[in-house]
Structure 1
Amino acid sequence: MRIITDQYDNHELPFKIKISFSAIFDYLEESGRHDLIQQFDHIPELKEGFDDFELLKTYKKEIGQLLETLFPSPLQQNEIKSVSIPFNFTSFKFTKRFLQILEDAGECYELKFRDFEETKIYIMACTFILNTCYGYNLDFKRPFFLDIPNVKTGELKHYRTLFNGDFMSIKKLENAPKITKEDYLELLDNFENIDLWKEKFPINSYELKGFGIMNLFDVTQDEILTNLKDNLLEKNNHSFFNLQKNIADLFGDPSIKFGFSTYDKDFNHPQSKDRYSYNSYILEQGSLLDCTNFFCNGIINQLFIKHELVAISDLSTYGKETNCNGFYEHLNKQDIKSVILVPFQMNSNTFGIMELVSPKKYVLNSVSANKLKDVIPSFSIAIKNFTEAYQNNLDAIIQKFYTSIHPTVNWRFYDAASNYLKHIDNNDSIPLIEDIVFEDVVPLYGQVDIKGSSIARNVAIKQDLMYQLELAEDVMAAAYENQKLTIYNEHQFRIQQQLRNLKRSLKTGDENSITNFLKKDIYPYFEHLKTINTILKEKVEFYESKIDDKLQVVYDKRFKYEQSVTLINKKLAQFIDTKQLEAQKMFPHYFERFKTDGIEFNMYIGQSLVKSERYNEVHLNNLRLWQLQIMCEMENIVYSIQHKLEHPLQVASLILVQSNSMAIKFRMDEKQFDVDGAYNIRYEIIKKRIDKALIKDSKERLTKPGYIAIVYTTNKDAEEYSKYIDFLKNKNYLTGEIEDIELQDLQGISGLKALRIQVSYLKETEKISFKEILEVLKN
């Protein structure tokens, strides 16, 4: 008799367990089996009971014989059953079928229940006492499952367990407190309070006597179907893609593979795997095919017209019957021998096919296809969920990369769309989409501008053009020296004229005129020169090696300039995009960023932008301080990458402060927000002109490398930002004295002032705590 002792850690129980077979002795007595009873007279413990589980081993032969009455021979190969001690999980006296299952599970297998909470054993035992001794009907029952592998076949079988407690009795011991109705009600509301349960049911305060019977029922197919349906109905792409093992388990063959393909409503052009298909064995990724020339008429009729399942148990036979059509050839190349195809109508425009394939003949057939009947309804729902989830992902991607609808204000657009649908549902004659306007928001504007970018770009253009003309002149000089033809000397003179004009200045249109001159007047001679001799051919080929293949011009200095600008923009954009996510956690606000020669960004903050949060002026103050801090950090980023720039560039930073709140409106034609109202347009005008502003009574620009300029209109703003500057100087973000500057009037704009402060480069900045920020804002 095999004995499996408790597989769980030692645990306390509210009762002592005494193993007793008195119920069997009573049965034998009633049946007149006195001869059998006498065989065990010398072991009174078997009837009276024992709590030393080692006696199971001592008397295992006798116990085995005694229990034969419960384990009749005809059922040994059929039933999966054993004797089990409740709440202790020691098991013995297994049926032959159960023993075979355990043997097939391998030596390493432990007989443990799935998702079993050992910490709940004590409470489970207490509820058993409440029901048995006190007559309550407290339902704590839950199904227990065993997952038992078969190391020979690789299968994992699932069994549901049922316990028979007819052979057990329980009694109160002297140290057991009396359980009142009040105790019972208190326990009902304190399931997790183990100390309370132990107070009401102390350890070993009852006695459980007897034994139990554990029956196992194979529910593998049910489990597979349940898991498969659960997997299908999960509303995410990953669960849909995890069906491979579920399908293989359902058919009991790991060789079976799963795929899915989609087709347009005319059934002539399957959609590629990149859209709604997954791991298709019919379609190649990104392919399009004509179904009428690919499938046979039988499959076209059965799948696409009648919407009926197709099962091919032997693909080779199918190939002979269809003259090895495209469908056969494509599957045969993949070593597929049997296949099942199940059709689904996804929507009015799209048709889907679930594909099951196997490298074995006859594994998939019209009989085994019946296993899918319970799955198909769930699969239909899963396809719908999958396509919806996919579409949602598309929407999210489009919103992120192609529209200006910021997550903070997303709710307002959905409200507007919902209202529009209501108008349609109410049969309004002309349903109008409402304007999206946010009132009483405060703007924040900042820019980190590449200083002198236009001049630097023109210098790069001029250097490239001069080098190109010098190369062309060199070719013509060599041609005249070699051939002594005056026409070559005349073209050399014309190139020199272009060079002299270019050295004096680069005018608008020079780039195009020089390029056209070379293409029209010079290049035709180059083709001829390459055929004359090796010297001239090498000269022309050297010229051509310096020309960009796509642009057909020398693109060296310009390339280095553009690369430098791109690197600065990329670094700044990555930084502010990351920091902006952190700032949104402080308080949601609208944010948009633009790449120019540098970075510009707008922010708007206010109550109307948020749906549930409460806005306070402290959120505006905090965002202003945050903006100034990250401007310092962006300046340092550009400073730190100077050695990587092919073309040396510097930046100058500016913040525009606006005290008064304004309204912003989403422009449907431009698909972006803009200020609303004539008065607010003044703010936009200032933004466009402020970086050209000069200090009053001078020709000095306000913005200059190494400094941050803060443009303001009221003394209150100046006082506020002066506090922020002092704070950031203390943290080594800024340095030097604050310059308070009056600005010259801009066209239509007067009365602007600015603070200017030097950036502290590459110093060790101190981390700013939330408490310090609050202190600055409070003061």
Structure 2
Amino acid sequence: MQKKSFYINKHLAGHDLVETALSFKPFVNHLQKRRPTDDTIKARFYSFALEHFESETEDIKASSDEGVPPNEHALELIYSALSPVLLSEEECYWALSTPVPNQILYSTDSFYKLITSKDIREASSSIITNDDMFRKQQLEYIYRLILKRLYGFTSVLSNNIYYSYVNADTGLSRYYHINIDTTFIEIEVKGKLPELDFETIENYLHEDTSVEVLTEVLPLSLFKFEGFSVISLEDVTARKAIEDIRDAITDPVEDQKELYRSVIQSLKTLSESNHVCFGLLPFIKLNGQPLFDLSSCSESILMQSARKYGVAEETYNALVSRYEKEPKAVFFSSISETRQQKFFFLKTLRDAGIKSYAVIPVFYNKHIAGVMEVYSEKELVFYENLLSRLEFAIPLIAQLLQNSIEYFNACIDDVIRDKFTSLQPAVQWKFNEVAWEQIKNPKARRRRTSQTLIEFKDVYPLYGAIDIRNSTIERNIALQNDLKRVIKLLLKILHILEDRYPGKQWQPLTEKASDWLQVVEKQVNTSDEMLINEFLESEAGLTLANLRTEHPESGEIVDRFLEMIAQDCEGPAFTQRNRLETAMQMINATISNYFEQAEKQLQQIYPCYFEKFRTDGVEYDVYVGQAIAPKQPFAPDFLKQMRMWQLTSMVEVSRLTHNLLDHMPASLQTTQLIFIHSVPIDISFRNDERRFDVEGAYNIRYEVIKKRIDKVLLKDSDERLTQPGKIALVYFTEAEADEQLTYIKQLQAQKMLQPEVEKLDLEELQGVVGLKALRVSINFEE
């Protein structure tokens, strides 16, 4: 044991934030309470310790106040009482400190060596060397204890404090979690304690992220801390590496290489060896066949080596095929000539200087998502302890590889949605004619001639959009509320269980639940949601289920949580999301059903190409003109009827969605937008690629405007053009506005629209200048 007194942060020695006094009185009081209630041999130890403290407490306190080290025998008694009997001192990072931890009075050798080591003293990320960070942690510690002891608030401030540094020998980071036992600290209030509620404290911290804001309502001059604190450090390097991998996956950067390298660095930290390296290789497929994608394979040592020989694609395809048929981990502690002959890819690795190599298949939902490589430039034996360290990282690696697969598929889907479209009845005749020509003439079918280009020239576009207002915000709020409800229930149960069934299993769960609650309080993405559900079901749920098996009487506490997480998406854990989803489905179903019927009316005016798109609402495109129906004469009056239909349909569909408000479980409103483009455009379909093209620069401009006006603002204003209960009509020329005003007046006469008409100038968009808009309010009373 170390009897030497030292400071964690010597720069802040003597700069106390609150009045403190070192005293063993709280410890003595604790022993006195425990002695009569304990009938084990511990009671004899309590009596032995009390005999010493009751005779020497005042001398100990006086010596401490004068700066003299406290009685060594007393400190040994405290260590013996608070540390496990069979735990070796070399394995225990333990220290006794002042009430607000800084001055260490007594510590184990392992604690002293760690805190005073050169590595941690030179680590810029450690709070030992960062005065501002250390002062902030002390302030949070003080207020956390005050709020818990005097107000009963236990979750206002975070309790996660880490020491971190880079080991000079390995070049890898190490992390230690700091646990401070405040059992033996008493708080004296000097004067009247201010009255506070939880909401007031939360509001203060919400408005200002710095804990110093609490000094306004709780001045530290009101308090005195008496007693001592006990510090213990836990090596959480492995856990922190897992958390870093999780964070990288849940908050990915756009650069996939950077993401993979960050995860690989965490795997190295997890391995605790700078000789072991890692590679990650997702199995990308296109149309069910392996597809070599250089960007996805860049962090694989096998692919890097194979590229030098120009065989990367062949190696990738062979590897995917092999592991889909026989997905078994293969380890090569050394790469011999015999093994190189049996496994074709080992030669390229050997030439790259790799002497040890392992490839481990990674599964996602029982399907192989890719492989993880473990390799070294030294001959190594891949012991089981290395695999055990990687055990908890494998599910996250599986998620990462699956994310890469889904990202690739999403890119393909985006291209398809952007560039291709399905056939519509109004234009099917054109495809039929081209198909028949190719059937009649097999030679033409084998050639790509101009006949395969299907064009529709001089067609008039009509575009409309009905959007659910703030749908993304509402979805995030619903998800947050549901997850907060479940996590808060879990925390409440864990606190109860910690008191009834003391054990080490509760603290990690409580910390993780608190961490996730902080994540949920800010913002939750899809990956977060999956990882939180995994934690609730696989970690917390499994622990509580095991507890219930061992202690059936705990059912009254844990059953509510177990039942909540056991239910499917219809359960109480999805209440807010289900309400929102139901409301959105009601709106979209109503809109889709309306347009399925309304399109029939539109086609009766004149055959046209009509296509609607499901977003968070519904968008549609209409193209009409002589080219669509060459055998039926087209007249300008048809276009006027269609524009009248467009405005009328917007009124009718908005009335339908408005009438849903009283029936929807969540209150959602829609906005209505029409873009008027009076000049005809050219469009084309390519039969071979089924690709939709807007022909010509001017026509492409029309598409650009369509995509940018949904969130356009009024000129010199922060107000969005689209508003609930109104229809916005975007146009360029006054002639277009005059035509729309004619239709508006007709609907006003029918009491479908309110009398007022707003004429608005819109902000300049990128590459678009001079946009204007009309905005009219819908009459919901008629």
| TM-score between the two structures when normalised by the length of structure 2 | 0.47
Between structure 1 and structure 2, the one with the greater Rg is 1
The structure where helix makes up a greater share of residues is 2
TM-score for both structures, normalised by structure 1:
0.47
